[in-house]
A and B are shown apart, each in its own frame.
Chain A
Amino acid sequence: MADPITVSALSKTFTLHNQGGIRLPVFSDLSLRVAAGECVCLHGPSGAGKSTLLRSLYANYKADGGDIIVMHRGAPIDLVSAEPWRIIEARRETIGYVSQFLRVIPRVPALDIVAEPARAIGVSADAARGKARGLLTRLRIPERLWSLAPATFSGGEQQRVNIARGFIVDYPVLLLDEPTASLDAENRRTVIALIQEAKARGAAVVGIFHDAEVRDAVADRLFEVESFQGRAA
Chain B
Amino acid sequence: MSAAASMRTRAPLMQARSVTRSYGGNIGCRDVSFTLYPGEVIGIVGESGSGKSTLLACLSGRLEPDSGVISYDMRGRGFVDIQTLSEPERRMLMRTDWGMVHQNPRDGLRMAVSAGGNVGERLMAVGARHYGDIRGEAQNWLAKVEIDLERIDDKPRTFSGGMQQRLQIARNLVTTPRLVFMDEPTGGLDVSVQARLLDLLRGLVRELGIAVIVVTHDLAVVRLLADRLMVMRRGEVVEHGLTDQVLDDPHHPYTQLLVSSVLQA
Contact = CB atoms under 8 A, between A and B. Distances in A.
A47 interface: no
Contact of B37 (A59, A85, A122): A85
Interface in B123-173: none
Given A106-B195, A122-B1, A61 B245 contact: yes
Contacts of A119: 1
Main secondary structure of the interface of B (DSSP, over half): helix
Interface stretch (A87-95, A132-140, A177-185): A87-95
Interface in B237-261: 241-242, 244-245, 248-249, 251-253, 256-257, 260
B4 A122 contact: yes
A121 B3 CA distance: 10
Contacts of B47: none
Given A106-B195, A122-B1, A60 B244 contact: yes
Indicate the size class of the contact surface on chain A: 20 to 34
B218 interface: no
B241 A17 contact: no
B248 A61 contact: yes
A62 interface: yes
B245 A59 contact: yes
Interface in A69-101: 84-85, 87-89, 92
Centre residue among A17, A61, A85, A107 by max chain B CB count within 10 A: A85
B1 A84 contact: no
Nearest to B194: A106
Contacts of B37: 85
B248 A18 contact: no
Contact of B249 (A17, A60, A105, A106): A60
Nearest to A123: B1
A108 B260 contact: no
A1 interface: no
B224 interface: yes
Given A60-B244, A85-B37, A121 B228 contact: no
A92 B228 CA distance: 15
Given A62-B245, A84-B227, A89-B7, A18 B196 contact: no
A117 to B, nearest CB: 11
B204 interface: no
A230 B208 CA distance: 49
Contacts of B224: 105
Given A85-B227, A120-B1, A18 B260 contact: yes
A81 to B, nearest CB: 12
A122 B251 CA distance: 35
Given A55-B248, A106-B196, A120 B4 contact: yes
Given A105-B202, A105-B224, A59 B1 contact: no
B198 interface: yes
Interface in A107-160: 107-108, 119-122
Contacts of A17: 252-253, 256-257
B40 interface: yes
Interface of A: 14-18, 55, 59-62, 84-85, 87-89, 92, 105-108, 119-122
Given A18-B253, A18-B256, A87-B242, 12 more contacts: A15-B251, A16-B256, A17-B252, A17-B253, A17-B257, A61-B249, A62-B241, A89-B8, A92-B4, A106-B196, A107-B195, A121-B4
27 contacts: A15-B251, A17-B253, A17-B257, A18-B256, A55-B248, A59-B245, A60-B245, A60-B249, A61-B248, A61-B249, A62-B251, A84-B228, A85-B227, A85-B228, A88-B7, A88-B227, A88-B242, A89-B4, A89-B7, A105-B202, A106-B195, A106-B196, A106-B198, A107-B196, A120-B1, A121-B4, A122-B4
